[in-house]
Every structure is written in C-alpha cells, then in structure tokens.
Structure 1
Amino acid sequence: MTFHWNVANPNFDTLGYITAVANIKDKHDKSAPSDYHWKILKCRIIIFSNSSILASPDKKNLKQIHIIFNKTGDDYDKINSLFLKFSLIQDGSIKKTTADIFEMCFVYTMTAKIAPLWNTIGTNYLINNRDFLTTKGPQDGLQYHIASNESSTYIEVKPVKIVIIMELEGDFAPGEYVRVLPSLNKAIVEEHHNSFPEMCAFKFYKDLRRHWKNIHGYRLPEQDCSSYYVIRFWRGEPLTYPSICVTRNLPVIIPMRKYVEETVIFKFIRDLRSKMSGILGMPLIIQENRNYAPSTSRQENNESLVETQEVSLCTPTQACPWSTYNKY
C-alpha cells in the first residue's frame, strides 16, 4: 500500500536562493581526499550547522552548492559566517526559489538528517537500520517519491522489505564488474586486499569509517573489515571500499505484509519529525493526504524498480574534521 503525506512549504516570497562555490584548492580534510567529496562535505556541514536552511550539492558541477534560506530572519548572515569559516563563495545574487530547486534541496537535506536511522539506498529507497550493512535477511525500508510545488511538498512512501545480497563465497577478481554502496553504481575491481591497504587515500580504517559517515551518513562497523577492494569508476581516481559495501547483485525489493505497513510508516514520520522538526524558520507541518492525486515527480531515478526485482544501492563516503559534525 502506498501512503501520501503533505508538507506545508513556507511562502516562496519569503525565501532566498543562492548558489555557493567551494574552494577545492584549500587544504582538504584527510577524510575528503577528492574535490567532489570535499564539496559534499562542505554542503553537509552547512546543513548540520544551521537547522533552518535547505541545501544540496549540485549533481554535475564539481564546486557548486545550492542553498535556500528564509530572508525574514538572520539566516543569510549566518550563512555568510559559515562561508568565511569553510571557504565558500556566493556565486551571483540572491535569486527567487523555484519548486524544482526547493524539491532538490528538501530531498537532500531530509535524507542527510534522518541517517543513520534511515539510510539511502540507490535513488529512492531508504532502509530502517543503523547496522544494515551487517544484518542478514529482509530489512524494513521504504520506496519514496517526492514532488514540490509552491505551496506543498508531497511525500509518497511505500513500505517494503529490502534484502541486500552479500557474497558468501569467493572474492571479486580484478577486472570484474560489481555494484557499490550506497549508489549501487557499476564499477570495476582493480585490486583485492585482505587487510587495510597501505596505498590508500585514508591512512587508517577509522578515517575510512568517518568518510562514510560524513558523506553518506552510513555507519560502518567499529571492527575493521575482513577485506577491501580498490574500485575504479568511469571517471575519477579509484577508491577503496570495504567488502561489505561491494556486491555482484542489486538488492531485492519484496512487498511488505499490510498489517506491518503502518508500523513502518509511523516510525518514518516520527523520525522525520524528530530529525527535521523545522524547515526554513517554521515548524515542519506534515499531514497525511488521503485524497492524493499522483503527479510526476521531478526526482531523477536511475532505474525503474518493481517489487521483487533486484535493485541497486549507494557508494562510500568521507569524514569531517569539525567536532560539531563528528559525533557517532
């Protein structure tokens, strides 16, 4: 069963929208070795440093971050202080917020804040387990779609069971195609290591663990992993992945029994209200919509997924040097 909820948007006339450019030439934190992840890290720090704004990294531009704020308060002054602190520069003037930009920033901010209670899997799935990487069998999750207009943001959620297929036998061979969490993008194995590799962007496992937490919200196990893979994508430098984040198969999505669906929905709405209690200077007002008329969401989906079909998850992350964002 699919559930529909409405979030009341602030008046768009009271909102400002700016883009910021990250200085990728400044000294990177050791948990964010690539320019791309350095931008992601700065965006997430902005989100967690100011609870009333919405923000999202640009999907294509290496340096750009999108930010929405309430013009009637002091958010703009706070944002400028954060820009000075974290080496960001406003790109252009304050612009009018559009529904497309609002939706993009709402989705990214929401998924950042509710992790690790709900972890991103692929483009439109969430899994409800902080320790999902080491949990076997079906786990509670949601398929979600979000669409915004100038008055409301519509959240459509369908409770499902998600099965992450972990490899039980054998290692991945160099040259083999695999899927990597959290994006479940396809990549190629370059090397396999039975211990943390010396030639790695991260000096210790704890640095790799912080990287995953601060870029994607994932909590890797405290214990060092049994093996690691050097993975190459179609562009950029190869990255080191723990074996628990590499798989040959996409996860399996299984329909959930109706009598437990409402329990999962209740947990999601409760956690969303807890982790994202305010939005752009006003309380988060979210109500069930029983008269929802489906509309096309602006969200981009990499794959069209159906129940019981194998689907894909997400990729690794980096860590944050600032103590306000480095709590486990």
Structure 2
Amino acid sequence: MRINVVNPDFNKLGYIMAVANINDKHDRSTPSDFHWKILKCRMIIFSNSSILACPDKRDVKQVHIIFNKTGDDYDKLISLFLKFSLMQDGGIREVTLEVYQKCFHYTMTARIAPVWNTMEENYLINNRDFLTTKGPQEGVKYSISVDQHFTILEINAVKINLMISEEEFSPGEWIRVLPSLNKAMVEDSYKDFSQVSASKFKSYKDIRRHWKNIHGYRLPDAETSYYSIQFWRGEPLLYPKLCVIRNFPIVTPTPKTLERVIISKFLKCLISKMSFILGTPITIQMQEMQHDNNSMVPNDSLTETQAVSLCTPTQSSRMCK
C-alpha cells in the first residue's frame, strides 16, 4: 500500500539546528551525552505538536527541527530551548527534502510508540507488550521518501517473530540488540541489578525510563536479567535480556485480507498521533500496490485515491474526505 501524506508549503517552513548543553545535569535515564541529546529532541517533539524534529546521528549534541514560519512556532521553540537547555546553532535555513524526510520519520516513530514499536530502520511492531510476547506479531515493513508535494510511505503488512528464547546468553556469544538489530558480543551476564558491578544506571527504574525515553519501548514491571554488551567500539553497554536476541527476527508476509486490517490500524494510529503536521491538518491519499517481479508498483486499476483530511483535533479518530 502506498500512503501519500500531503506536504505543507515548503516556502512557509523554516529549519534550524539546535545543540544540547551536554554539561547540564543529566537525567539518570540518559547514561551518555548522545542519549541526553535524544531525550532533549523527544521533549521538544512532545512539547509542540506543530514541529518535526530528529537527533543528528553523528553529532553528539545536534538536533534538527522544522517549524512553520507563519505562526508563533518559532517563539515557542525559543521558549522551549530555554526550558530544556538547548541553543540555536546558526540562522533559519531552507528545508531540504532530505532533512524533511529524516524529521518526519523520527517524529512519526516517536509519536506512534508504544502502540507501534520501531525495529531496525524500516519495521514497526503493533504491540505495546511485544518484548514479552512469543510467536508471530503483527507489524509493517515500510519506507519513506519525500518529494515537493508528498511524503510517501510504502507499507507492507508482515508478521514478525522475535524468536524469544528462555535460554540465557553466554559471555563471548554473538547476539543482536533491539531496536537496531546491530550485532554485538556478550561480555558478562547478571541475574539481577544487584549483581551489576558498574553502570551509570542506579536501578531497574532508571533502565525502564531509559527505554521509554530513548526508544519508546515499555519494559514490564518485573525485572529480568541483564547483559553487558560490547560493540565494535566504545565501552560495554548494559542491556536487559528482553532487548537481546540471538538472530534476526523471522519476518513473513500476511494474507491480503489481514494486510488491509493491519495497514488500517497503522493509518488510524498515524492520524490520531499526527493529526496536524507543522500546523496543517493531515491530508492523506491512499493507493494500493501490486506485486510485479518482486517489486511494488502502483495498481493502475485504481482510478481514484482516497483522500483523508482531519479538520479538527477531535476528528483524529476518523477519516473524512
């Protein structure tokens, strides 16, 4: 399925970069400067529904923010910068397609969590408790591209099986970590937090807040075992067992009838959580896709598209033409 989200007028948008004050006292849920920057970005996103934002993947302090120049969003952003200890870096820039795509993508995944939880760059799992659920779970595989007129989401419904194992991992074992699915090695294991020898987290409560604040994941109330995970560079990081898996998840396509149901759930959540984009009511056009030589192409038999426009925040749970 192809979902075309109508873009606002780019001429009315502004783009600024902000930097987080890494010398500010960190929340205990953010053990590194990079995590501190991510938390600041998410605080901006959830404090102002009229903006799009994303943390820079390389710079330890930088956040990218898009706002509507025609309203008072810029003044609100400056107030939020003072509140959250951020500082504007440079002047107001033009919005590029690349920056818009990154900010839309990150803001979308932040807002629809924990109903839809991100895995890798292009999967979402539709289950708040997906970390403790065994067997296949409903989800989508998606990609996002942007042109001058639309933000285009190409979505396929899938079943995702994390292959959750009751067995413990052993030091020296290669594993995958959520949400990135990056490969790393187990350095050490701990039955509970009292056995953790060195960590910037002080309790399981800190760890739960970390996964909520940084990834949108909701860890269960009950504590699990932990692993010290070593990546190819940097210091080892502490992971709860629920966020460590042995191999890539098994992803399978769904029947056509179920695909429509899953995509409908995703669309309703998207409309509910992003009813306005940069001050403009969300407008969506849907176009069904058909398979052709293992690729997805528009179905030419569909002569019309469905237009979805939300006129007020109270209409966020329904679609209106």
Q: Residues 55-86 of structure 1, C-alpha deviation per residue, up to 9 Å, x if partnerless? A: 00011111110000000000000111111111
Where 1:81 maps in the other structure, the secondary structure is: helix
How far off its partner does 1:289 sit? Answer: 2.5
Where 1:154 maps in the other structure, the secondary structure is: strand
Aligned to 2:161: 163
Where 2:121 maps in the other structure, the secondary structure is: coil
State the distance in 2 between where 1:268 and 1:189 align. 35
TM-score norm. by structure 1 comes to 0.86
Where 2:233 maps in the other structure, the secondary structure is: coil
Contact 1:98 1:150 in 2 (8 A): no
Aligned to 1:298: none
5 Å matches for 1:76-87? 76-87=74-85
Aligned to 2:22: 24
5 Å matches for 1:179-328? 179-196=176-193, 197-225=196-224, 227-290=225-288
Q: Residues 128-180 of structure 1, C-alpha deviation per residue, up to 9 Å, x if partnerless? A: 000000001100000001101121111110000000012233x2222221111
Matched pairs, number = 290
Q: Residues 247-295 of structure 1, C-alpha deviation per residue, up to 9 Å, x if partnerless? A: 1111000111112111101100000000111100011111202489x9x
Contact 1:36 1:63 in 2 (8 A): yes
2:177 maps to a residue whose letter is V
Question: Which is bigger in relative contact order (C-alpha 8 A, separation at least 6)?
Answer: 1
How far off its partner does 1:234 sit? Answer: 2.1
Greater Cα radius of gyration, structure 1 or 2: 2
State the distance in 1 between where 2:219 and 2:289 align. 41
How far off its partner does 1:189 sit? Answer: 1.1
Aligned to 2:96: 98
Structure with higher strand content? 2
Change (3 A) 1:219 1:251: same
How far off its partner does 1:7 sit? Answer: 0.5
1:118 maps to a residue whose letter is W
Q: Residues 284-317 of structure 1, C-alpha deviation per residue, up to 9 Å, x if partnerless? A: 111202489x9xxxxxxxxxxxxxxxxxxxxxxx
Where 1:116 maps in the other structure, the secondary structure is: coil
Where 2:64 maps in the other structure, the secondary structure is: strand
Aligned to 2:169: 172
State the distance in 2 between where 1:204 and 1:277 align. 37
Where 2:238 maps in the other structure, the secondary structure is: strand
For structure 1, the residue ranges without an aligned partner over 5 or more in a row are: 295-328
State the distance in 1 between where 2:31 and 2:263 align. 38
Q: Residues 100-132 of structure 1, C-alpha deviation per residue, up to 9 Å, x if partnerless? A: 110100000000000000000111000000000
For structure 2, the residue ranges without an aligned partner over 5 or more in a row are: 293-321
How far off its partner does 1:199 sit? Answer: 2.5
1:82 maps to a residue whose letter is L
2:113 maps to a residue whose letter is A
State the distance in 2 between where 1:245 and 1:291 align. 34
1:266 maps to a residue whose letter is S
Aligned to 2:7: 9
State the distance in 1 between where 2:166 and 2:26 align. 37
2:243 maps to a residue whose letter is C
Where 1:187 maps in the other structure, the secondary structure is: strand
Indicate whether 1:53 and 2:64 are aligned.
Answer: no
In structure 1, which of residues 144, 147, 151 is the aligned counterpart of residue 145 of structure 2?
Answer: 147
State the distance in 1 between where 2:103 and 2:233 align. 26
State the distance in 2 between where 1:84 and 1:271 align. 32
